[in-house]
Amino acid sequence: MPDITQVLIANRGEIACRILRTLNRMDIPGVVVYHFADADSPAVKMAATAVQIHGPTPVAAYLDVENMIAACKETGADAVHPGFGFLAENPKFAKRLAREGITFIGPHPGAMELLGNKVSARTFCMDNGFPLITSVTEAEAKENFIESARKIGLPILIKAAAGGGGKGMQIVRDHRSLDQAVLLAKNEAQRSFGDDEVYAERLLEEPRHIEVQIMGDLHGNVVHLGERECSIQRRFQKIIEESPAPMLTRELREKICTTAVEIARRANYHNAGTVEFILAPDNEFYFLEMNTRLQVEHPVTEMVTGLDLVELQIRIARGETLPLVQDQIKTTGHAIELRLYAEDPANDFLPSTGALLAYSLPTGKGIRIENGFARGMQVTSAFDPMLAKLIVHEKNRNQAIALALQALNDTLVLGVTTNIDFLARILAHQAFRAGRIHTGFIPTHTKELAPLPLNQEQRDLLLAAAALGSREFSDPVLTEPYTSLGDWRN
């Protein structure tokens, strides 16, 4: 089995910092690659070795396999951790690393091809009797994909086969818009993943999004680390995740988690992975997809289990056996993760750009921050607008919500518009507190989640503060003969 002596992180931002912390604790040197746009980032400053990479755009630089291979050869890195996004679910990248004798800290390329592609994963689950929503793929329908999609019944969800994160997804509620929706989904899928394959499935109304963290080693052992609730989403992207999922019976939780483990076991899957399910209002659940990588929201699982998922990934890649069997994995308390975005919730979540004039994130017992920015850095349109992740852990869900609200109140970001207040309004909403959540929570409660209009006293205070901050207001206006006296003093 390979001996990992130096790890190159084929990523950026907060996930690069998070991986570096584990590598430092394990006394394994870490190498960070960076585009010029990230030259002043905390990850670059934190790493012992940093290698600049180039590309026609910043994103293209991180998607370039040859950049990563060259950086490994330059630094002597014998392993690569892909983080999430970019090359994390690219089996061609994993295969290329294997040809170069470099360990990929992730699943086998064959498992990525099988389960990372939504169409092949759907076929696999169908063949093995796992629950699926009614759907049709382009390959199955061949020349009649549009007509076959119509037969599913409304509403229909068009989805990209090769990726996730809400990219390449279109909702169809009228058959007349189906052709255009398929075209839009294919175009976005091609831009985002380099693959325009899509498929159609029946859209369940107001379902919950439940996912299960699994971990498998190279010796056939597979365990789950509990489930996460990921139903609070905007534009098909998660913004609040928590563990354990509220309002699940013990029997339903066990059934969902056991199904996830069985899917991974039958696929001979190893390393970290997340099996995602749609849970209908009648408590029937269906396989949605599998993310063959570390998830953005993995910290909530770490908080309730006390396990370091990145360390487990590295040990599995080394060929070690999982240190725990299923019965030894326990969860305590409740964890909530909030994704802090530079975006305007009042303007359809439009990304915001600019310099971080002030940037202060909370600290304290039960609070964990995953962050890739610092005061003075530029937030650009080159990357996803997520600034940081704020994770809290408490004894129960109500206490976790209270701590999360306190942490948001102690967060200060100036220079860009953020979703901080929007997240606080979600946490304070009565339906959220009661666990009455689903993937349509935000559009359902649009009016209640909107900011309250300012009263006259608040307006007056803001105007006064703005005036006092203006030099035109605060600097004295001098007239002759005083303007000619210069710096004269008596």
Task: Give catalytic residue positions.
Answer: 293
DSSP-assigned states of every residue in 262-282: HHHHHTT--EEEEEEEEE-TT
Kindly give the pairing relationship between strand 49-52 and strand 30-34: parallel
CA dist., res. 375 & res. 389, Å (int): 16
The three state secondary structure string of 224-256 is: EEEEEEEEEEECCEEEEEEECCCCCCHHHHHHH
Select from 317, 315, 246, 338 the least CA-distant residue to 94. Answer: 317
16 near 43, Cβ under 8 Å? Answer: yes
Mapping DSSP to helix (H, G, I), strand (E, B) and coil, where does residue 441 land? helix
397 near 246, Cβ under 8 Å? Answer: yes
Identify the DSSP state of 437. Answer: -
CA dist., res. 110 & res. 94, Å (int): 10
Identify the DSSP state of 206. Answer: S
- How many CA atoms lie within 13 Å of 50's alpha carbon, on the beta-carbon side? 19
CA dist., res. 269 & res. 214, Å (int): 9
CA dist., res. 143 & res. 186, Å (int): 16
Identify the DSSP state of 331. Answer: -
| C-alpha distances in Å from residue 271, one per residue of 83, 91, 279, 351, 396 | 13, 14, 25, 34, 30
Give the amino acid at 348. Answer: D
